[in-house]
Chain A
């Protein structure tokens, strides 16, 4: 390619830097990093939907589905991370494909809340199922990696490496996808569905495709989260508040760039971790306050800081 894609370069540099950092990071940092990568990947799917003009208040459905699918497979004796994550991703994608036939007919608040309704069905089912530990959930044993069974800290180090590689590939894939005709049709569907139909393509088909994509990445995020925490439970995997967190991250990040979702996810993790540590009574208050501040001062998300700085740089030159 003649022209260099800055996002691809930036993602690659970040990827290599984190790869290197993995060997030196403190354990708590790696843990926050893993969670940010998992949640950021889910937000990537929301970014794609958001660009199409759709907000989902129910992507904990796919996140939880991916997490529980991976966790349940460990109960059946499968422990390979590649298999678990692949299966979690695929099964969430399959669910999105099926529900997509219904959801692609809805827009705006109806789309958002129908997603939430489906996610609460999953939540209800998990809570009522004794075999899955009900509200307590159950723990997930440390995974193996193609026969390699790390122990102690090596488990997290390897998992981080594993997650990093796949997150990098997925993010790159989504970034390149957004530049294709189908990716660009997000804009077309958001702006004018009638025109899309009269140009000769189905707006619902576009939405369905994007919905499956968002389900796949949410399933991936869920499966990673199950392995990272070593535990699945309905309240941190499938409840509507989890869906809210994803929307929170998407607002925080803005939809300008795929890399932004991971910055947003990291900022979210940091705010939550520190708010919880220093103000255990008020941490939700702090989280809510920071969201309010973002909406008021950076309505296009954290990423817009970068474009503002760029404009400021250019401005002085006559």
Chain B
């Protein structure tokens, strides 16, 4: 397995607040990694730094051997790291189809190509097959602002995946989704991303989701990575249990968590 992302000694401070401290993470190709931690632990800050939205105070971020520090999000996106958002960032007053048509057009056109027609039949076909892959084809002509939350989340992720990124970072894909729908939603996302062999890092609060979809866990606490281990191991880590999962988490880990990820 080759390393796709390497983060070394990453620091981020906002005045006196330390949002990230000594973060060292290595991500291998095709891994599915869960990022866990309480609110304010630095999970989103980490994603923001890797995708260029925030500039780290110090440290190194390398993507397939290339330094990412100082690059804006659009350049990092073009290199192959995309992201979705906790609050879906879509074109609200446009239809689902037009959202994705625009996403494809921006991904596919450069230079003078930008002055070729936005719509063409081949591109529309690609959009429609993408819609089917993310199982939102029935909402094809619905305006994004009228979509149910889960569907809008799928649209957001589908837009992020248009470029077939090497790494996709999902910021809380299941937040705001009812408990019954969560697994169905994650199945769609993971099945779709597996087709492109995408490396996935996703932020998640629900430990059941983490156990089911993730092979490795990064646990954040006060800006630091307090645990970086395979899922089963992380779930019984005393630090994770105390600072991330909390006392309310009573399930026995040994039979349950272990067997699912064998």
Contact = CB atoms under 8 A, between A and B. Distances in A.
Report, as a range, how many residues of chain B touch the other chain. Answer: 20 to 34
B51 interface: yes
Contact of A181 (B72, B89, B105): B105
Interface stretch (A34-42, A182-190, A221-229, A247-255): A182-190
B163 interface: yes
A115 B190 CA distance: 48
Contacts of B82: 198
A281 interface: no
B159 A197 contact: no
B89 A195 contact: yes
B114 A192 contact: no
B94 interface: yes
A192 B77 contact: no
Interface in A147-199: 177, 179-185, 187-188, 191-192, 194-199
Given A180-B117, A181-B106, A181-B113, A191 B77 contact: no
Contacts of B93: 191
A88 B84 CA distance: 46
A200 B77 CA distance: 6
Given A195-B89, A197-B73, A199-B77, A180 B115 contact: yes
Contacts of A180: 114-118
Contacts of A274: none
Contacts, number: 81
A199 B162 CA distance: 8
A184 B78 CA distance: 20
B162 to A, nearest CB: 7
A31 B52 CA distance: 55
A181 B162 CA distance: 16
Interface string B96-111: 0010001101110100
A201 interface: yes
B106 A192 contact: no
A290 interface: no
B92 interface: yes
Given A180-B114, A181-B113, A199 B94 contact: no
A202 interface: yes
A199 B102 CA distance: 9
Given A188-B91, A199-B103, A179 B117 contact: yes
Contacts of B116: 180-181
B83 interface: yes
Interface of B: 51, 72-74, 77-78, 82-83, 85, 89-94, 98, 102-103, 105-107, 109, 113-119, 159-160, 162-163
Interface of A: 177, 179-185, 187-188, 191-192, 194-202
5 contacts: A181-B116, A192-B89, A194-B89, A200-B106, A200-B163
